[in-house]
Amino acid sequence: MQDDAGLLAGLTVVDMSQFLSGPYCSLRLLDLGARVIKIERPDGGDLSRRLYLSDTELGGDSTLFHAINRGKESLGLDLKSADDLSFLRRLIAKADVLIQNFRPGVIERLGLGYEAVTAINPSIVYASISGYGEEGPWVARPGQDLLAQARSGLMWLNGDEGQGPVPFGLAVADMLAGANACQGILAALVRRGISGRGAHIQTSLLESLVDFQFEVLTTHLNDGGRKPRRSDFRSAHAYLSAPYGVYPAKDGYLAIAMTPLGRLQDLLGIAALAPYRDDSRAWFTERDAIKRLIAERIASETVDHWLSILEPADIWCSRVLEWPDLMASEGFRLLDMLQTVTRDDGVTIDTTRCPVRVDGRRPVSGRAAPKVGEHTAKIRAEFA
Catalytic residue check, 3? no
Partners of residue 37 on adjacent β-strands: 14, 73
Which among 174, 223, 278, 344 is annotated as catalytic?
174
Candidates 158, 153, 270; CA nearest to 220 is 153
SS3 29: helix
| Residue 44: CB atoms within 10 Å | 11
Classify strands 317-319 and 253-256 as parallel, antiparallel or unpaired.
antiparallel
Partners of residue 12 on adjacent β-strands: 35
Distance CA 217, CA 101 (A): 27
Alpha-carbon separation of residue 227 from 224, 271, 283, 334, 381 (angstroms):
9, 33, 19, 42, 59
Candidates 276, 273, 245; CA nearest to 258 is 245
Strands (E), the chain: 12-15, 35-40, 57-58, 61-62, 73-76, 97-100, 125-130, 199-204, 245-248, 253-256, 317-319, 338-342, 348-352
Q: ∠ at Cα 23 (366, 368), nearest 5°?
A: 20
SS3 199: strand
User: What amino acid positions are annotated as catalytic residues?
Assistant: 174
